[in-house]
Structure 1
Amino acid sequence: MLLAGLAVVLALLLWAWRRRPGGAGSGGARRRRRPWELVLRHWLALRVLGRAAGWQRRHLEQAAQDVRRSQERLLLRLLGGAGAVEPGSAVFRARCPLAERGSNGGKTPALPALPMGPWALLRSSCTADSPLQGPVLYLDVLSRVFPEALSPRGTARFSWARGCSLPAAAWPLPTLYCAPEEAGTVPSRAAALYVQLLFALRERALRALEAGLVSELYDALGVLRAGWEDLAQDLASGRLSPRLELPEGTRRRLEQLLAPDAARAAELRAECARGWDGIARRLWPQLQVVVVAEPSGEQLYGEALRESECQGLPFYCPFYGAAGALLGVNLWPEQPDSRYLLCPGWAFCEFLPAGPGAEGPPETVLLADVQEGQEYELVLTAQAGLSRCRVGEVLKVAEFHNQCPMVGPVRRLSQTLSVRGEGVPEERFYQTLRRAVAMWPGARLVDYVCAESSLLGASSGVCAPHYQVFVELRGLRDLSEAQRYKLDQCLQEDFPVYKTFRLKGSIGPVRLHLVAAGAFRELRDAAGSPGPMARVLREKRPLHFIQSRVVS
């Protein structure tokens, strides 16, 4: 106890010293920080983190033993803050109608910006709020399963949002990351991923690769494929490529953190010349884990990374969130299928049955009443301003931890194709598309999106409503009409309702388009805000963008 208290005091003193004017945390002094200072700060933060994690795990276990009571307490806090007179789940559900489904398509939320340093970490020991409790639990789990994953400067993070720096899941340990925070604030996503990758390549002893979404890691390693010669040149010279569009001040500050490393540049050239399978472990031999969010719409990218660049590495998705709220944490990274414990103190959750036979008037069940093996649509009330909002996420209850359900996301309701009410969900359409691509000799699916013809308006022609599908392929430059029609045939085989409408002529045949290589990466770069890839486009701007890249 004495040693733990001393560690806390030392951490606070060091943090305060760094914050004083002219201290190590200001201006150019930060760039000259000595290695021993980094290691000491990191060690002290780990000591405080260990104590906070113990408290948070006990809080979570207590809440999971009486989920109903934990949810009622949370609702009392939420309604009390809104000035409610009679808080309570029965009164709340009777008086507050269900809101319309959210239109965010299941976007994964970023953690709110929090003050760095021991004060925030110590504060997390006394609260069950998700922005504080979630990262502490995640880092504790990561250190238990992958003991070296929390090494100082041992994690490369790939992330970008227009005009701001995304707060990382590991905010209690800012010394964890090998790239400066400014690398995530450059004007474009492509430039940010390039700079973050360059700083990652400087650190041969990386233990973890981290990204807000698996598509960000996929695109970062795509930068390696396309630009490894430029990266090697930058490593050797200690300067950023002149072709990289950066503000001059930003370029100058980043280059002050670089130094020429001809040996590492030669190693990069040699490994890239050998090919891409397993390149991550060859470039960083001590890698232990890949930490990413992998929502259903981005399954394609996770599969591609596991098969090629990240061969042999375990993938860990720590959080589940929807509509801007953090809802659950994955405490079992060693499991092949991600399962998230819905933490009863983070948001008030209700559930609408969404499995087979779930028809009739919507009546919600509470977190304490869900059943194992059943699918439910999530209804959320959270501090983010949501009040009984149908967020468009369908979950499946896998099992229970004490009384608390462990769930896995199934589908996003906004990502369902339906021109006549036939309802083709994204995850099943993806499987059908893969089956069709397998019938095209030499072809490999790189990426895809879909749209309903109504979004095109008059430009879709006078034919019956139909699906517009845009694909990027590797190994095939053109498609014959017979090959294009294979997708429509597969859809008829997999979806009997769709086949019925096709036979009646009330749904027209699929129109399949081949786009140029890199079109979908450019689409994500142009989006301007992070979020899971939308497989069913609902807005004209991204549809027109991808139409402009059609080559066949």
Structure 2
Amino acid sequence: MAPAALSGALLSAISGPMLAAVVALLVAVCVVLPSAPPLRHRLLRAALLRASGWQRRRLELQSTDVRHGQERRLRRLLPPGEAPGSEAFRERHPPSTSCNDGERAEPLPPLSLWAVLRSCWRAEPALQGVLLYLHALHRTFPQALTLRGTALLGWAPTAPRTPGFCPLPTLYCTPPEAAALPLRSAALRVQLLFALQTRALRVLEARLPNELHDVLAALRDGWAELAHDLALGTLSPQPGLPEEVRGRLQALLVPDGTRAAELRAECERGFEGIVRRLWPQLQVVVVGTVRGGERLYYDALSRAACEGLPLYCPWYRVAGALLGVNLWPKEPTPRFVLCPEWAFCEFLPCPAEEEEKQHTVLLGELWEGREYTLILTARPREYRCRAGEVLQVAGFHKQCPVVEPVRRESQALSVRGESIPEEQFCRSLCRAVGMWPGARLMDYICVESTLLGAFSGASAPHYEVFVELRGLRDLSEGQRHKLDHCLQEDFPIYKSFRFKGSIGPLRLHLVGAGAFARLREAMGRPVPMPRVLREERLLAVIQGTVIS
């Protein structure tokens, strides 16, 4: 019997206490087999898959008693000696205004003997989330966890050894050093080259949809040079790629004229469905989030470059805390099961009546089809934080709500208290762009005129919108006014303020190709794309790219 089949058969026959012993044995064997990557990979994969099945069964059990799961999680978050119970907790701690550091994220745990062993009894959210992801991925795409079968696209300048979505290093064909380059554009191009070198990819993984979007833009603009590098097995010098790092990475490349010719032929055919054509064995594209501003890229990828491939977002993460997991990798609309033992969650119904605003409901008290604002307790001493997230209940997995993210409250536009939500503004913008013949919206960002300071002039407070379009090089005055008209039609409060003159006319600016990639580089760290800009230094970056 083959080693993989033997290990799988052995693991399928055990559970409970024996699981810990077998996992320990498999991981220990891998430690002493550094010179046998295929066998080491199969054994580690078998151990992780067995542990992932254990965690899936644990989730199913937790899903039958949501209330007690929430109480257990709350007890672990409270200091010793504090009276337990959600009712006493809510009476003692009033809701705070917002969560701290909304973009930080818990790192994925490294694959270690102790971490895997600990998961056999109790796993913290990050580790349990990874194992549930592996279970869903492997069950839906059995060949997804192939040795060197996953390419990772993502910029991690401060964490050179951060793994991808799976703590199994042999899964990735991408050198970890490539993610840690000082410039985002250099990191993504190098990772793209290594991905192109591996024709037999099964999974393409991007930490953020905007990173995959920019990688494919780099492919569109620079495929001829990439093909040259592939043919010669070289790595062209570029800004942000130190010479000593370039030498180490180039040593991992192998000249491949056949693959270079294939790249040229496919790119000359066009870029619709290019991902599946370049990697014919690819099964799934995995992305880290679809919340808020990332949805624009997610939808664009589904329609064009990734056409015909499932896009799978495995987790729901808010304010850096892991809250839910997506158990349905092939579904076109990401939905997440809120796991009862990952964070203590409360919810305010939307829209809330004035007297109901401080009366939260708990995880087991939600109604299907309703929208709720999330109140989060995910870390010790950070109690009842308003997460700035609105979600909708799409259904239930046993007792656990299945939710879809709707909007981020921090990304609403407001210069007079009118509050235009980001997803509704995007719909109005897309409607306006649809009235411009030949135009296709690629990206956008909004600025409230208060950020402009003295540069806003003497006009009334207003919005300034920066858009990147394809198929249109200039905007007439009539076209510029279309967006303001659409907003007035879609938002009566905005129309009222415009009629009174207390909000001035919207100003629309067209930026050049690649402007938003430069903006994301200037942000200095990989974060979900904001749709309302609130930093003056970033405003200067996008203003410098205006062409009309």
Q: What band does the TM-score fall into relative to the shorter chain?
A: over 0.9
Cα deviation, residue 355, structure 1: 3.0
Q: Residue 294 of structure 1 aligns with which residue? A: 290
- Distance in 2 (CA, whole Å) between partners of 1:359 and 1:410 is 24
1:182 paired with 2:177, answer: yes
Q: Residue 16 of structure 1 aligns with which residue? A: 31
Cα deviation, residue 121, structure 1: 2.5
Query: Measured at CA, do residues 166 and 521 of structure 1 come closer, stay the same or move farther in structure 2, by a change above 3 Å?
Result: farther
Q: Residue 10 of structure 2 aligns with which residue? A: 3
- Distance in 2 (CA, whole Å) between partners of 1:284 and 1:383 is 41
Cα deviation, residue 378, structure 1: 0.7
- Distance in 1 (CA, whole Å) between partners of 2:321 and 2:489 is 39
Q: After superposing the two structures, state which structure 1 stretch, 284-293 or 303-312, moved more.
A: 303-312
1:162 paired with 2:157, answer: yes
From 492, 512, 515, the equivalent of 1:516 is 512
Contact 1:235 1:260 in 2 (8 A): yes
1:275 paired with 2:275, answer: no
From 486, 491, 495, the equivalent of 1:499 is 495
Q: Residue 214 of structure 2 aligns with which residue? A: 219
- Distance in 2 (CA, whole Å) between partners of 1:207 and 1:474 is 31
Q: Residue 229 of structure 2 aligns with which residue? A: 234
Q: Residue 14 of structure 2 aligns with which residue? A: none
Helix, strand or coil for the counterpart of 1:251?
helix
- Distance in 2 (CA, whole Å) between partners of 1:15 and 1:244 is 39
Query: Measured at CA, do residues 255 and 174 of structure 1 come closer, stay the same or move farther in structure 2, by a change above 3 Å?
Result: same
Amino acid at match of 1:434: C
Identity of aligned residues (%): 59
Contact 1:351 1:378 in 2 (8 A): yes
Contact 2:325 2:338 in 1 (8 A): yes
Contact 1:324 1:384 in 2 (8 A): no
Q: Residue 367 of structure 1 aligns with which residue? A: 363
Q: Residue 90 of structure 1 aligns with which residue? A: 87
- Distance in 2 (CA, whole Å) between partners of 1:215 and 1:412 is 17
Contact 2:63 2:399 in 1 (8 A): yes
- Distance in 2 (CA, whole Å) between partners of 1:527 and 1:461 is 27
- Distance in 1 (CA, whole Å) between partners of 2:83 and 2:150 is 48
Contact 2:108 2:130 in 1 (8 A): no
5+ long unaligned stretches in structure 1: 19-23, 25-32
Q: Residue 21 of structure 1 aligns with which residue? A: none
Contact 2:446 2:531 in 1 (8 A): yes
Q: After superposing the two structures, state which structure 1 stretch, 301-310 or 394-403, moved more.
A: 301-310
Contact 2:186 2:238 in 1 (8 A): no
Map residues 75-474 of structure 1 onto 2, 5 A cutoff.
75-79=74-78, 82-102=79-99, 107=103, 110-165=105-160, 167-292=162-287, 293-355=289-351, 357=353, 360-383=356-379, 386-474=382-470
Cα deviation, residue 165, structure 1: 3.1
Q: Residue 538 of structure 2 aligns with which residue? A: 542
5+ long unaligned stretches in structure 2: 1-6, 12-18
CA offsets 1:452-506 (integer angstroms, 9 cap, x no match): 1111112101111111111111111111111101111111111111111111111
Amino acid at match of 2:417: G
- Distance in 2 (CA, whole Å) between partners of 1:359 and 1:506 is 30
Q: Residue 67 of structure 1 aligns with which residue? A: 66
Helix, strand or coil for the counterpart of 1:65?
coil
Cα deviation, residue 94, structure 1: 0.7
Contact 1:235 1:262 in 2 (8 A): yes
1:488 paired with 2:503, answer: no
Cα deviation, residue 113, structure 1: 4.5
- Distance in 1 (CA, whole Å) between partners of 2:354 and 2:276 is 46
Contact 1:378 1:394 in 2 (8 A): yes
Cα deviation, residue 139, structure 1: 0.7
Cα deviation, residue 357, structure 1: 4.7
- Distance in 2 (CA, whole Å) between partners of 1:482 and 1:505 is 20
- Distance in 2 (CA, whole Å) between partners of 1:295 and 1:56 is 26
Amino acid at match of 1:348: F
Query: Measured at CA, do residues 338 and 419 of structure 1 come closer, stay the same or move farther in structure 2, by a change above 3 Å?
Result: same
Helix, strand or coil for the counterpart of 2:119?
helix
- Distance in 2 (CA, whole Å) between partners of 1:298 and 1:112 is 20
Contact 1:449 1:536 in 2 (8 A): yes
Q: Residue 39 of structure 1 aligns with which residue? A: 38
Contact 1:48 1:122 in 2 (8 A): no
- Distance in 1 (CA, whole Å) between partners of 2:481 and 2:96 is 41
Query: Measured at CA, do residues 75 and 449 of structure 1 come closer, stay the same or move farther in structure 2, by a change above 3 Å?
Result: same
Cα deviation, residue 303, structure 1: 2.0
Cα deviation, residue 3, structure 1: 3.0
Helix, strand or coil for the counterpart of 2:455?
helix
Contact 1:395 1:408 in 2 (8 A): yes
- Distance in 2 (CA, whole Å) between partners of 1:531 and 1:301 is 14
CA offsets 1:345-398 (integer angstroms, 9 cap, x no match): 111111111236576542111111122111111111113753110010011111
- Distance in 1 (CA, whole Å) between partners of 2:27 and 2:66 is 35
CA offsets 1:80-110 (integer angstroms, 9 cap, x no match): xx34421221111111111112375x64x54
TM-score norm. by structure 2 comes to 0.93
Query: Measured at CA, do residues 245 and 530 of structure 1 come closer, stay the same or move farther in structure 2, by a change above 3 Å?
Result: closer
Q: Residue 16 of structure 2 aligns with which residue? A: none
- Distance in 2 (CA, whole Å) between partners of 1:84 and 1:324 is 27
Contact 2:134 2:166 in 1 (8 A): no
- Distance in 2 (CA, whole Å) between partners of 1:3 and 1:428 is 53
Amino acid at match of 1:89: S
Q: Residue 27 of structure 1 aligns with which residue? A: none
Cα deviation, residue 282, structure 1: 0.9
Cα deviation, residue 265, structure 1: 1.0
